[in-house]
Amino acid sequence: MANSMARSFLQVAATEEVATPLRVVQIEGLVVLKIIKHCKEFSPALVTGQLLGLDVGSVLEVTNCFPFPIQEEDEEIEADGANYQLDMMRCLREVNVDNNTVGWYQSTLLGCFQTVELIETFMNYQENIRRCVCIIYDPSRSNQGALALKALKLSDSFMDLYRNNNFTGEKLREKNLSWVDIFEEIPIKVSNSALVSAFMTELEADTPVTQCDYDRLRLSSGPFLARNVEFLIECMDDLSAEQQKFQYYYRNLTRQQAQQQAWLQKRRDENKARKAAGEEPLPEEDPANPIFKPIPEPSRLESFLVTNRIANYCNQINGVSGQSFNRLYLMKALHDN
């Protein structure tokens, strides 16, 4: 009885776990600061690091993190990186810190993070830990006066597809998956211990305007926009290339179909003749024939990612120009006065 109870409890626990989706990523203030420090110091080089923490129900708590050394394109060093990671984990465990991996963080430059590599890394992580997130920090955007921190995960349906490595148009339609459905952004909640919060309130000056707030009033948005447009242009090129690939495929396909039709027609005529002559008709399919070999359809993944990037840049441009307008109006009003 107790046995069955225990089993059912386990079952319940299991089902519950599956049922609750990840809703919030709760990050310790310290971790945020550490990430910002790491990313900013190395900017514009891109850096990564490990996130450690706990998985509690629908909340993923990130309680600690450590940076990875900058990786070089070398296999040996890559192996070193893995060793470093393991050593680090061991050391942390020895000092009794949370050492449960919950994901990784990385810095980015103007939001160009949606790459195949990211997806691959994510899939790697996903294999080992059920819940994992990727925190993206963009130091250049933070210069604009916003905290550009984002927690991302891949959507489940996308992961399914990715496992089968099947990004043909048909499958995508079947799953009703479009480019927006690849990544899911999870809201981030920064939590501090009560002591820290209290200390912060203590520290808070009476005047709310501080040095860093002047950044918000900077009027020049030109360079930022220009860079964004540059990236957009790059994306357009990529997209065109993707499209060309697809067109090429389509052209081949049409040609092949025409060939198939011609062949089939010929075969039918032949069969008719054979029938007239009282012979057995030949089969209407010939798998050995090279014209019946299906042409592999190009993957749509890349174009999806490019589209994501484009959307990202567009959002940024939108946001920045919106803010700029506000500032400009403000300036105008000031001048008028």
Partner 1 sequence: MSSRFWTQGGSDSEEEESDYEDEVETGGAEAANETAGSRYLKGMASDSDDSDGQKRVVRSAKDKRFEEMIATVDQMKNAMKINDWVSLQESFDKINKQLEKVMRVTESVKVPSLYIKALVMLEDFLNQALSNKEAKKKMSSSNAKALNSMKQKLKKNNKQYEDLINKCRENPESEEEKDEDEETEEDEDEESEFEEDIVEGSDADEEEEEEEADDVNDKGWEKKLSKKDKLIDKQFKNPGEITWETVNKKFKEVVAARGRKGTGRFEQVEQLTFLTKVAKTPAQKLEILFSVISAQFDVNPGLSGHMPINVWKKCVQNMLIVLDILTQYHNIAVNDIIEPDENETQKPADYNGTIRVWGNLVAFVEKIDTEFFKSLQSIDPHTREYVERLRDEPMLSVLAQDVQDYLERVGEFKAAAKVALRRVELIYYKPQEVYDAMRKLVDQVGDGDEKAGEEESRGPSAFIVVPEVVPRKPTFPENSRTMMDILVSLIYKYGDERTKARAMLCDIYHHALLDEFSTARDLLLMSHLQDNVQQMDVLSQILFNRAMAQLGLCAFRVGLVAEAHSCLSELYSGGRVKELLAQGVSQSRYHEKTPEQERLERRRQMPYHMHINLELLEAVHLICAMLLEVPNMAANIHDAKRKVISKTFRRLLEVSERQTFTGPPENVRDHVMAATRALTKGDFQKAFDVINSLDVWKLLRNRESVLEMLKAQIKEEALRTYLFTYSLSYDSISLDQLTKMFDLSEAQTHSIVSKMMINEELHASWDQPTQCIVFHEIEHSRLQTLAFQLVEKLSILAESNERAIEARIGGGGLDLRRRDNQDYAAAAGKWQDNSTYTLGRQGTTRSGYAGSGRTLALGQPGGYTRDRSGQLRGASGYSGGQRNSAARGSQMDSSARMVSLNKGVR
- The residue written with tokens 């993923």 in the block is 60
Span interacting with partner 1, options 67-75, 152-160, 183-191, 241-249, rule CB under 8 A: 241-249
Name the residue nearer to partner 1 (CB basis): 162 or 179.
179
The residue from 8, 11, 193, 244 that contacts partner 1 (CB under 8 A) is 244
Name the residue nearer to partner 1 (CB basis): 9 or 250.
250
Within 10 A of 28 (CB to CB), how many other CB atoms are there? 20
Shortest distance in whole angstroms from residue 232 CB to partner 1: 6
Query: Cα dist. 36→67, 118, 136, 320 in Å?
Result: 11, 20, 10, 21
Span interacting with partner 1, options 116-124, 135-143, 248-256, 288-296, rule CB under 8 A: 248-256
How many helices (DSSP H) and strands (DSSP E) are in the chain? 10, 8
Shortest distance in whole angstroms from residue 38 CB to partner 1: 32
244 token code pair: 């060309």
The residue from 11, 157, 178, 261 that contacts partner 1 (CB under 8 A) is 178
Q: How many angstroms separate the most distant Cα atoms in the chain?
A: 104
Q: Which of residues 14-43 bind partner 1 (CB under 8 A)?
A: none
Give yes or no for a contact between 85 and 49, defined as CB atoms under 8 angstroms apart. Answer: no
Q: Which of residues 250-309 bind partner 1 (CB under 8 A)?
A: 250-251, 254-255, 258, 307
Distance, in Å, from the CA atom of 182 to the CA atom of 319, rounded to the nearest integer, reads 22
Q: By CB under 8 A, is residue 236 in contact with partner 1?
A: yes
265 token code pair: 């027609």
Shortest distance in whole angstroms from residue 45 CB to partner 1: 25
Span interacting with partner 1, options 25-33, 52-60, 242-250, 263-271, rule CB under 8 A: 242-250
Span interacting with partner 1, options 37-45, 187-195, 237-245, 271-279, rule CB under 8 A: 237-245
Nearest-10 Cα torsion for 61, 27, 206, 214: -160
Q: By CB under 8 A, is residue 232 in contact with partner 1?
A: yes
The residue from 314, 328, 330, 331 that contacts partner 1 (CB under 8 A) is 314
Q: By CB under 8 A, is residue 229 in contact with partner 1?
A: yes
Which ranges constitute the DSSP H helices of 100-221?
A: 116-128, 139-142, 156-164, 169-175, 194-203
35 token code pair: 């990430």
Sign for the CA dihedral angle at 116, 117, 119, 123 comes to: positive
Shortest distance in whole angstroms from residue 294 CB to partner 1: 18
Secondary structure element (H or E) that encloses residue 16, with its range: helix 2-19
* DSSP state letter for 103: E
Distance, in Å, from the CA atom of 136 to the CA atom of 138, rounded to the nearest integer, reads 7
Give yes or no for a contact between 191 and 27, defined as CB atoms under 8 angstroms apart. Answer: yes
Q: By CB under 8 A, is residue 315 in contact with partner 1?
A: no
The residue from 230, 269, 279, 286 that contacts partner 1 (CB under 8 A) is 230
Shortest distance in whole angstroms from residue 254 CB to partner 1: 6
Interface residues with partner 1 (CB under 8 A) are 169, 172-173, 178-179, 222, 225-226, 229-230, 232-233, 236-237, 239-240, 243-244, 246-247, 250-251, 254-255, 258, 307, 310, 314
